[in-house]
Amino acid sequence: MRRNDKPFRDRAVQLFIIQGTPFCNINCSYCYLPNRNDKTIITDEIIVRAMEQLKKHDLIARELTIGWHAGEPLMVPIKRYEEVFDLIEKHAPRGVRVRQSIQTNGVGLNDDWCEFIKERNIQLGLSVDGPEHFHDKYRKTKTGKNTHHLAQKAIDQLNKYNIRFHVICVLNELSIQHPVQLYDYFESIGSMSVGFNIDELEGANESSCLHNSDEAVENFWSILTQYYFDKGPDAMRVREFSDIEHKLKDRMRRDENTLFSTSQNSLYSIFTLGANGDFSSYSPELIGNKSSKYKDFIFGNVLRDDLAEVLDRKHVSRLGKDIQKGVKKCFKTCEYFSMCGGGAPSNKLYENGKFSSTETDYCNYMRKMPLEAYMNVKSKLHV
């Protein structure tokens, strides 16, 4: 039996990343996307073909999150979303719960957008890097002007309409020194949670202001963790701590010495669709970036290719095998594997030059150090 005749075993798309457009209306210096001036907008045909393919191969999980990302989602007109959301619901299998999620810089958020977000019950993430002096360090307009005042307008709009939102904050060399100030700021603007990212060496971003910043990052997590625990059960959630709690519970349900898969190293657990119909899997951050070895990480195009048939293509098979080599190396060498599952493929590639590698700044700063800080504080509470 040919490989593409076999069913997709143990695979279901839980996160469907859709690039409504690659275009972005600002120019953050740490952004990984290379084509931020491309104003292509995804078509009905591409959406329908993607949903048909996913349904054909029974790849849609019972709960499917659609994440509009990899460009600024608010640059796509509301009317386009109304049409696309209806198409997705129409072509989703019966019984599947579809959640729509938008990650935005907030520029352009107005009354019409807020009404639409409320009407469609869209999960909203806002990209804000903290107070003005932290945020404006790297988040600029295309002409080099500051953007924090525009983010603040978005915050005011969301609060005006009582729209719940979470924040993603990219840490830089200034903000990393002020964890308490950051936390208090995000709590004060009404965010229900915050997730911290580092300035990552990834894709179009060829350097990081936090490279070789072990002490600063370790101090950040140590101080933030203690502050978080001190605030008690009503504290604003921190994504990293919620993830740790979830993984600790998950580890109790299985043998921690067992090799397992995560969404970023499992084929088609995350399905990424470009505005032009190109599709890929594994780390969403690979989309739009270049690689001669893996043919720009593009598996195929939904307008002409079948999701199963592309798995026989040499570059797709090589990509998957290389990712699994890296996961197995992590399993054999890293004591944190049971809490991580082999790391993010995109970080391995851009930091180490290959998927079949192990430790990165990202796994040190965003997996190991938060876990160590969390466990240290928690152990003190039980003494």
Structure confidence at residue 161 (pLDDT):
97
Per-residue pLDDT of the chain in tens (383 residues, 90 and over written 9): 233 444 454 568 989 999 999 999 999 999 998 889 999 999 999 999 999 999 999 999 999 999 999 899 999 999 999 999 999 999 999 999 999 999 999 998 999 999 999 999 999 999 999 999 999 999 999 999 999 999 999 999 999 999 999 999 999 999 999 999 999 999 999 999 999 999 998 888 888 999 999 999 999 999 999 999 999 989 999 999 999 998 888 766 666 666 667 889 989 999 999 999 999 999 999 988 888 899 999 999 999 999 999 999 999 999 999 999 999 999 999 999 888 889 899 999 999 999 999 999 999 999 999 999 999 998 887 64
Q: What is the 8-class DSSP label of residue 100?
A: E
Strand partners for 104? 126
Q: How far apart are CA 145 and CA 138, in angstroms?
A: 10
Rounded alpha-carbon distances, angstroms, from residue 336 to 12, 217, 259, 340: 26, 18, 12, 6
0.85 cut: is pTM over it? yes
- Asked if residue 186 lies in contact with residue 169, where contact means CB atoms within 8 angstroms, the answer is yes
Rounded to 5 degrees, φ, ψ at 163 are -90, 120
- Burial bucket for residue 360 (CB in 10 Å: 0-12, 13-18, 19+): buried
- Burial bucket for residue 90 (CB in 10 Å: 0-12, 13-18, 19+): exposed
Query: Which token pair is 254?
Result: 């299985």
Cα dihedral 179→182→185→189 (10° resolution): -130
Structure confidence at residue 4 (pLDDT):
42
Q: How far apart are CA 171 and CA 240, in angstroms?
A: 14
- Asked if residue 348 lies in contact with residue 360, where contact means CB atoms within 8 angstroms, the answer is yes
Q: How far apart are CA 321 and CA 341, in angstroms?
A: 16
Rounded to 5 degrees, φ, ψ at 365 are -80, -30
Of the candidates 69, 75, 72, the one whose C-alpha atom is nearest the C-alpha of residue 27 is 72
Rounded to 5 degrees, φ, ψ at 277 are 100, -10
Sorted by sequence, the CB contacts under 8 Å of residue 47 that are 6+ apart come out as 18, 84, 87, 88
Structure confidence at residue 11 (pLDDT):
67
What's the start-to-end Cα distance of the chain, in Å? 59
